[in-house]
Structure 1
Amino acid sequence: MKKVLFITMILVFVLTLSIYAHPPGNIEMNFNMENKMLEVTVPHNSGDNSDHFINNVKVYLNGNRHIEQDFIMQTNNDVQYLHYMIPGAKSGDTISLNAECNKFGSRETEITLD
């Protein structure tokens, strides 16, 4: 009986945590070849963008970490906007980005430059 109660409590805790914490949504990335600027939109809904937010972003150019940035809050309660200059990027290169929530989960996306 104690085992069943313990397992039930653990399940309730895990399910409750997943309601309040979630990974970022589908990341949008656009790269402007003319000014070598990467524009990123990371959807991430939060009731309080200073308590539940995107806390870390890593940008990779051709598999090599190029940028890593930590945050203490997100742009607003719905999204994190980012702009990065990547001067060495050229046509055919691959840029990937990993965004991590401070509570739970992460998401990665990748683009190949034209």
Structure 2
Amino acid sequence: MKAFYAKIFFTMVLFFALLHAHPPSDISAEYDTLEQTLKITVDHSVKYTNKHYVNKIEILANSEKKIEQLSRKQSNESSQNYIFKIIDVKMGDTLNITATCNISGKKRVYFLLTPDKLEPLEK
């Protein structure tokens, strides 16, 4: 009988945890051609930054993986910020950026690298 109640309790805890879990809501990015740096902001509102956070960011350029970084907490309650040095991209390349929540879901965006800025692409 205790095992039955333990299963019910575990199911309820899991249900409520997933109820509050959500994927990142948006990803914005800027590329500095002179410094060859990519600045990324992942919008992901959370209450507890060490329990619910963006745990992985992955960057592909023209389908080739350039960067994968794992995290164990989020820097603040509204977003996670990254700065990467990427030297082997050029104008016209497509960047695919994916941010994954440690509990549930992911957000993927695509950008075209143009001389003026990263142009968002719909895919």
Q: CA deviation at 1:32?
A: 1.1
Query: What CA deviation, in whole Å up to 9, does each residue of 1:28-50 have, x standing for no partner?
Result: 01111111111100010111100
Question: 8 Å contact 2:18–2:103 — kept in the other structure?
Answer: no
How far 1:22 sits from its partner (Å)? 0.1
**TM-superposed deviation, 1:19:** 2.9
Q: Which residue matches 2:62?
A: 62
Deviations 1:16-72 (A, max 9, x none): 444310000111011111111111000101111000000011100111111000000
Counting only pairs closer than 5 Å after superposition, residues 4-15 of structure 1 correspond to structure 2 as 14=15
CA distance in 1, matches of 2:94, 2:32: 14
Q: Which amino acid aligns with 1:109?
A: V
Cα distance between partner residues in 2 of 1:103 and 1:18: 7
- Superposed displacement of residue 89, structure 1: 1.0
1:43-82 equivalence runs, <5 A = 43-82=43-82
Structure 1 unaligned regions, length at least 5: 1-9
Once residues 21 and 106 of structure 2 are traced to their aligned partners in structure 1, the CA distance between those partners, rounded to angstroms, is: 11
The offset of 1:107, in angstroms, is 0.4
User: Following superposition of structure 1 onto structure 2, how do residues 1-114 of structure 1 map, counting pairs within 5 Å?
Assistant: 14=15, 16-114=16-114
Residue 3 of structure 1 corresponds to which residue in structure 2? Answer: none
* Cα distance in 2 for residues equivalent to 1:67 and 1:51: 24
Distance 2:91 2:67 in 1: 19
The alignment covers a number of residue pairs equal to 104
DSSP-derived class of the 1:23 partner: coil
Q: Provide the aligned C-alpha RMSD in A.
A: 1.8
TM-score, normalization: structure 2? 0.78
TM-score (normalised: structure 1) = 0.84
Cα separation, 1, equivalents of 2:96 and 2:75: 21
- TM-superposed deviation, 1:110: 1.1
